[in-house]
Amino acid sequence: MFKINALFLGILLIAAVTMTASGCSRFGTPSKTSLNSDENKTMNDTTTKGSKLETAVFAGGCFWCIETLFQDLKGVEKVESGYSGGTVKNPTYKEVCTGSTGHAEVIKITFDPAVITYEQLLTVFFHVHDPTTLNRQGADAGTQYRSAIFYADDTQKASAEKVISDVTAQKLWDDPIVTEVTKLGEYYKAEDYHQDYYNNNPNQGYCSVVIAPKVKKFYKEFQQFLKDNIQKP
């Protein structure tokens, strides 16, 4: 399972001071972890009035799983499940699941950069899925489950490349990162029943058996970064 390391605390905490998964894969197991006590600061937990919200689009396996993780972070206003990176207009879930449309299952995160930055979100992203498996997360195989960052502009692209470089240098993962970094094209919101899927279907078999343990682990490991209304372990 994932662990917090110095890279995560460095990006997630220092920047805060200056500004105050059909299926889901298992969270991967980062190969290294370390803790720098000098970086042990807390994130600003209040949205700054008047601040401009931004968006981030990530793909990391089934969107049911990563959606519910990101929506509980401080500074995240909304997380929406959707499709991006393909060639078919207005794709359906059934079409995307065939792997023939080119789309990935993605989440679109609306966030307050005064509370949580794009780089911080990227760092979380690299801790909660395995970025070293090509077109696959656990038992979910196909291009629709690929690891990808769809950047909106050159600033986001630079941030993605920087975080990948940092994660690689930290040897967080034993194998090379294969995450796709590509310009965001058309984004399509997924069907309504996919939105907030885990919270709306906690007793569904896959949710209770596969996703619930990941959420519990996430809450334990990232509890200082969760919204105040989240029940922490």
- Kindly name the residue from 62, 65, 97, 207 that is annotated as catalytic: 62
Helix ranges restricted to H, 171-229: 197-200, 205-206, 212-221
Residue 62 among the catalytic residues: yes
Let me know: does 45 contact 102? Beta carbons within 8 Å.
Answer: no
Nearby residues of 1 by Cβ (< 8 Å), 6 or more positions away? 26, 27, 29, 217
Q: Which helix (H) or strand (E) holds 166?
A: helix 154-169
C-beta of residue 95 within 8 angstroms of C-beta of residue 31: no
The residue to which tokens 């307050």 are assigned: 112
Residue 76: closest CA among 229, 231, 233, 232:
229
CA distance to 41, 76, 159, 176, 193, per residue, from 154 (Å): 29, 22, 9, 24, 33
- Helix 212-221 and helix 63-70, axial crossing angle in degrees, nearest 10: 30
Could you give the residue numbers annotated as active site?
62
